[in-house]
Chains A and B, each alone.
Chain A
Amino acid sequence: MSIQNKLNRLKKHMVNPVSTPPVQSKQPLEDSSGKRIDHADYWEKFGASAYFFEEDYCIIRKVEYPLDTKWGRYRFSDALDAVSKWQDIDAEHPLHARDLEASDLLFFDTETTGLSGGAGNTIFMLGMSQIKGDHVLVHQFFLPGPGSEVALYHYFLNHVKELRNLVTYNGKSFDWPQVKTRHTLIRDFVPSLPEFGHFDLLHGARRLWKDTLPAVKLSVVEKEILGVNRIHDTPGYLAPMLYFQYCNEGEPSLLEGVFQHNEWDVLSLITLYTHMSGIVTGKGFRTEKETYESARWFEALNEQEHAMSLYNEVLETGNSHTSQSKKSLAALNKKCNEIEISVQYWLELLEEDHLDEEPAVELSKYFEHIQKDYDKALHFAVMAYSRWKGKKRLTKRKEEQEKQRFLKRIERLEQRVIQYS
Chain B
Amino acid sequence: MFQKKSIQQVMDVLREPELAKQIVQWKTIEPREAVSVPLPDSLHPTIQSALSKRGISSLYIHQLSAYEAALRGESFVAVTPTASGKTLCYNLPVLQEVANNPEARALYLFPTKALAQDQKSEMNELIDEMGLDIKSYTYDGDTPANIRQVVRKAGNIVMTNPDMLHAAVLPHHTKWVSLFENLKYVVVDELHTYRGVFGSHVANVIRRLKRICNFYGSDPIFICTSATIANPKELAEQLTGNPMTLINNNGAPAGRKHFLFYNPPVVNKPLNVRRSATLEARNLAKLFLENHIQTIVFARSRVRVEILLTYLQELVKKEFGTKSIQGYRGGYLPKQRRAIEKGLRNGDIMGVVSTNALELGVDIGQLHACILTGYPGSIASAWQQAGRAGRRQDESVVIMVASSSPLDQYVIQHPDYFFERSPESARMNPDNLIILVDHLKCASYELPFQENDKFGDQEIQDVLEFLVDEQVLHKRGKHFYWMNDSFPAHNISLRSASQENVVIIDQSNVADVKVIGEMDRFSSMTLLHEEAIYLHQGTQYQVEKLDYEEKKAFVREVDVDYFTDANLAVSLNVLEVDKETTDEQNAKAYGDVMVVAKATIFKKIKFETHDNIGSGPIHLPEEELHTSATWLTFENNDLSEEKLEAGLLGIAHVLRHVAPLFVMCDANDLHVVPQVKAVHNQQPTIFIYDRYPGGIGLSEKVYGSWDTVLDQALSMIQRCPCESGCPSCTGTLEEGNNSKNLAVKLISQIKGATEHVDSK
Instruction: Report which A residues bind B (CB closer than 8 A).
Output: 113-120, 122, 145-147, 180-181, 184-185, 240-241, 244, 247-248
| 10 closest Cβ pairs, A-B complex | A120-B445, A146-B481, A114-B485, A116-B487, A118-B171, A184-B174, A240-B485, A120-B482, A181-B174, A247-B474
A147 touching B174, Cβ below 8 Å? no
B172 touching A117, Cβ below 8 Å? yes
A244 touching B174, Cβ below 8 Å? no
Which chain B residues numbered 519 to 564 have a C-beta less than 8 Å away from chain A? none
**Chain A nearest Cβ from B484, distance in angstroms:** 7
Q: Which interface residue of B447, B479, B483, B487 has the most chain A CB atoms within 10 A?
A: B483
A241 touching B485, Cβ below 8 Å? yes
Residues from chain B with a CB closer than 8 A to the CB of A248 are: 471, 474, 483
B177 touching A244, Cβ below 8 Å? no
Determine if B32 is an interface residue (Cβ-Cβ < 8 Å).
no
B448 touching A119, Cβ below 8 Å? no
Residues from chain B with a CB closer than 8 A to the CB of A119 are: 171-174, 445-447
Docked CA distance A116–B479 (Å): 22
Docked CA distance A141–B444 (Å): 25
A115 touching B174, Cβ below 8 Å? no
Residues from chain B with a CB closer than 8 A to the CB of A114 are: 484-487
Docked CA distance A407–B64 (Å): 67
A120 touching B471, Cβ below 8 Å? no
Docked CA distance A247–B484 (Å): 11
Determine the residue in chain A with the shortest Cβ distance to B443.
Answer: A120
Select one of B476, B479, B485 contacting A113, CB under 8 A: B485
Docked CA distance A122–B485 (Å): 9
- Contact indicator per residue, chain B 461-491, by CB within 8 Å of chain A (1) or not (0): 0000000000100101101011111111110
Residues from chain B with a CB closer than 8 A to the CB of A184 are: 174, 177
Docked CA distance A114–B174 (Å): 17
Determine if B338 is an interface residue (Cβ-Cβ < 8 Å).
no
Residues from chain A with a CB closer than 8 A to the CB of B177 are: 184
Determine if B495 is an interface residue (Cβ-Cβ < 8 Å).
no
Complex A-B: 12 CB contacts under 8 Å: A113-B482, A113-B485, A115-B485, A116-B490, A118-B489, A119-B173, A120-B171, A120-B445, A120-B482, A146-B476, A146-B483, A185-B174
Select one of B448, B471, B488 contacting A147, CB under 8 A: B448
Docked CA distance A147–B480 (Å): 9
B481 touching A244, Cβ below 8 Å? no
Docked CA distance A247–B446 (Å): 19
The A interface, classified by DSSP as helix, strand, loop or mixed, is loop
B484 touching A118, Cβ below 8 Å? no
Docked CA distance A122–B471 (Å): 16
Residues from chain B with a CB closer than 8 A to the CB of A122 are: 481-482
A120 touching B175, Cβ below 8 Å? no
**Chain B nearest Cβ from A396, distance in angstroms:** 11
**Chain B nearest Cβ from A100, distance in angstroms:** 29
Docked CA distance A193–B489 (Å): 29
Docked CA distance A247–B474 (Å): 7
**Chain B nearest Cβ from A119, distance in angstroms:** 5
Select one of A120, A240, A241, A244 contacting B444, CB under 8 A: A120
Docked CA distance A113–B486 (Å): 9
Residues from chain A with a CB closer than 8 A to the CB of B171 are: 116, 118-120
Residues from chain A with a CB closer than 8 A to the CB of B483 are: 113, 146, 244, 247-248
- Contact indicator per residue, chain B 482-509, by CB within 8 Å of chain A (1) or not (0): 1111111110000000000000000000
Docked CA distance A185–B446 (Å): 10
Docked CA distance A264–B476 (Å): 30
**Chain B nearest Cβ from A285, distance in angstroms:** 38
Determine the residue in chain B with the shortest Cβ distance to A243.
Answer: B483
Residues from chain A with a CB closer than 8 A to the CB of B175 are: 181
Q: Known contacts A113-B484, A244-B485; can you find 15 more A-B pairs with CB under 8 A?
A: A114-B486, A115-B485, A116-B486, A118-B171, A119-B171, A120-B444, A120-B482, A122-B482, A146-B448, A146-B476, A146-B481, A184-B174, A185-B174, A244-B483, A248-B471
Docked CA distance A244–B490 (Å): 21
Determine the residue in chain B with the shortest Cβ distance to A114.
Answer: B485
Residues from chain A with a CB closer than 8 A to the CB of B479 are: 146-147
Docked CA distance A249–B172 (Å): 30
Determine the residue in chain B with the shortest Cβ distance to A237.
Answer: B485
**Chain B nearest Cβ from A115, distance in angstroms:** 7
**Chain A nearest Cβ from B465, distance in angstroms:** 14
Q: Which interface residue of B174, B446, B484 has the most chain A CB atoms within 10 A?
A: B174
Known contacts A146-B476, A184-B174, A248-B474; A118 and B485 CB within 8 A of each other = no
Residues from chain A with a CB closer than 8 A to the CB of B174 are: 119, 180-181, 184-185
Docked CA distance A113–B446 (Å): 14
Docked CA distance A113–B444 (Å): 14
B446 touching A120, Cβ below 8 Å? yes
Docked CA distance A184–B447 (Å): 12
Residues from chain B with a CB closer than 8 A to the CB of A115 are: 485
**Chain A nearest Cβ from B621, distance in angstroms:** 32
Q: Which interface residue of B175, B448, B485 has the most chain A CB atoms within 10 A?
A: B485
Residues from chain B with a CB closer than 8 A to the CB of A146 are: 448, 474, 476, 479, 481-483
Docked CA distance A145–B479 (Å): 11
**Chain B nearest Cβ from A187, distance in angstroms:** 9
Docked CA distance A184–B479 (Å): 19
Docked CA distance A136–B304 (Å): 75
Docked CA distance A350–B489 (Å): 57
Residues from chain A with a CB closer than 8 A to the CB of B447 are: 119, 185
Residues from chain A with a CB closer than 8 A to the CB of B490 are: 116
Q: Which interface residue of A113, A115, A119, A180 has the most chain B CB atoms within 10 A?
A: A119
Docked CA distance A353–B177 (Å): 58
Which chain B residues numbered 711 to 734 have a C-beta less than 8 Å away from chain A? none
Determine the residue in chain A with the shortest Cβ distance to B481.
Answer: A146
A244 touching B173, Cβ below 8 Å? no
Residues from chain A with a CB closer than 8 A to the CB of B481 are: 122, 146-147
Determine the residue in chain B with the shortest Cβ distance to A241.
Answer: B485
Docked CA distance A159–B572 (Å): 65
Docked CA distance A184–B175 (Å): 9
Determine the residue in chain B with the shortest Cβ distance to A244.
Answer: B483
Docked CA distance A122–B476 (Å): 15
Residues from chain B with a CB closer than 8 A to the CB of A117 are: 172
